[in-house]
Amino acid sequence: MTIPVLSAATALAAILAAPVAADTIRAATTFNTADQKMVEPQPAAGMEVTYPIRYTGGLDGCAAEVAETLYPQDEGAWGIYEVAADVTCGDGGFAFTSTGSWNDKGFHGAGRVTEGSGTGSYAGLAGRIAQNGGMTAAAGDTFDIGYEILIAPTEP
């Protein structure tokens, strides 16, 4: 029996051609870095902050409390981040974690819905998270951060 081997290009084409699940959740948020509060004690190799956000779109009316640790490199020109968020909606909520990186072109993160965290309408939610966005300079030494979050449900 011969097992076919797909080239990387063929495998990538198959993945890109696959439809996004009909129940993929897409939402957006924008916040200003002035909303971030430093956590004490700070990690030795980075910076930890918390901040609130609100979502529009597929999570319209939902809010999240975010804890983020940033590990800047080259004076902040690029870096790595880790996020943990508790999302609260009028009909339930869930938690997620993600990790990613940023540079002058934006940022990209991926993670998962925290197993067993869903309540109400989100009970049993399991899925992969993607975060894609960017930032622009704002008043003072702050930045406006905006990103889209996608939740691709998976089997629990």
Residue 48 has pLDDT above 90, yes or no: yes
Q: What's the pLDDT at 45?
A: 87
Res 76: pLDDT: 85
Residues 93-119 have pLDDT tens digits of 999 999 999 998 999 999 999 999 999
DSSP 29-61: EEEEGGG-EE-SSPPTTSEEEEEEEE-EETTTT
Q: Could you tell me which residues come within 8 angstroms of residue 93 by beta carbon, excluding any fewer than 6 positions away?
A: 62, 86, 87, 117, 118, 119, 120, 122
Whether the predicted pLDDT of 28 surpasses 50: yes
Residue 6 CA to residue 129 CA, distance in Å, equals 27
Angstrom CA distances, 64 to 12, 31, 57, 79, stand at 34, 12, 14, 23
Predicted confidence band of residue 155 (pLDDT cuts 50, 70, 90)? confident
144 pLDDT above the threshold of 80: yes
For the chain, what is the mean pLDDT?
88
Q: Rounded mean pLDDT of 59-80?
A: 94
The pTM of the full predicted model, rounded to 2 decimals, is 0.82
**Beta strands 143-153 and 63-73, pairing class:** unpaired
Per-residue b or e along 23-45, where b marks 16 or more CB atoms closer than 10 Å to that residue's CB: eebebbbebeeeebeeeeeeeee
**73-92 mean pLDDT:** 95
Domain ranges of the chain: 22-153
Q: Which CATH number fits domain 22-153: 2.40.350.10, 3.40.350.10, 2.60.40.3950, 3.90.650.10?
A: 2.40.350.10
Q: What is the pLDDT, as a whole number, of residue 10?
A: 47
Tell me, what's the pLDDT at 23? Answer: 86
Instruction: Examine the pLDDT at 17 and tell me if it is beyond 90.
Output: no
pLDDT at 19 over 80: no
